[in-house]
Amino acid sequence: MTKLTDQVADYLRYSQVERGLSQNTIAAYQQDLLEFADFVQKEGFASWPQAAVDIDAFLAKERDAGKSNNSISRMVSTLRRFYQWLVRQHIEQIDPMSQVDAPKREKKMPLALSQEEVSKLLDQPDVSKPLGIRDRALLEVLYATGMRVSEAISLQDGDLHADLGIVHVLGKGNKERLIPISDLAMDWLDKYAKVRDQQLLKAGKFSQYVFLNQRGGQLTRQAVWQMIKKYCRQAGIEKDVTPHTLRHTFATHLLENGADLRVVQEILGHTDISTTQIYTNLTQKHIFDVYQKTHPRI
Q: Give tens-digit pLDDT for 113-161.
A: 999 999 999 999 999 999 999 999 999 999 999 999 999 999 999 999 9
My answer on whether 28 and 167 are in the same domain is: no
Classify residue 108: in a domain, yes or no: no
Q: Does the annotation mark 279 as catalytic?
A: yes
pLDDT tens sequence across 32-43: 999 999 999 999
CATH number of the CATH domain containing 72: 1.10.150.130
Catalytic residue (choose from 80, 168, 244, 286): 244
Q: From residue 133, give the alpha-carbon distance in Å to each of 3, 124, 292.
A: 56, 11, 40
- Pairing type for strands 176-180 and 160-161 reads unpaired
Residue 30 to residue 32: CA distance in whole angstroms? 6
My answer on whether 123 and 239 are in the same domain is: yes
Catalytic residue (choose from 61, 63, 270, 286): 270
Classify residue 136: in a domain, yes or no: yes
Classify residue 106: in a domain, yes or no: no
Q: Does the annotation mark 14 as catalytic?
A: no
DSSP-assigned beta bridge partners for residue 218: 212
My answer on whether 46 and 141 are in the same domain is: no
Count of all residues that appear for the chain in the document: 298
Below-70 pLDDT ranges, the chain: 1, 104-109, 277-298
Q: Does the annotation mark 270 as catalytic?
A: yes
pTM of the model: 0.61
Provide the number of structural domains found in the chain.
2
Q: Answer with the one of 40, 64, 99 that is the final residue of a domain.
A: 99
Classify residue 121: in a domain, yes or no: yes
Catalytic residue (choose from 136, 148, 196, 248): 148
φ, ψ of residue 28 in degrees (nearest 5): -65, -45
My answer on whether 176 and 28 are in the same domain is: no
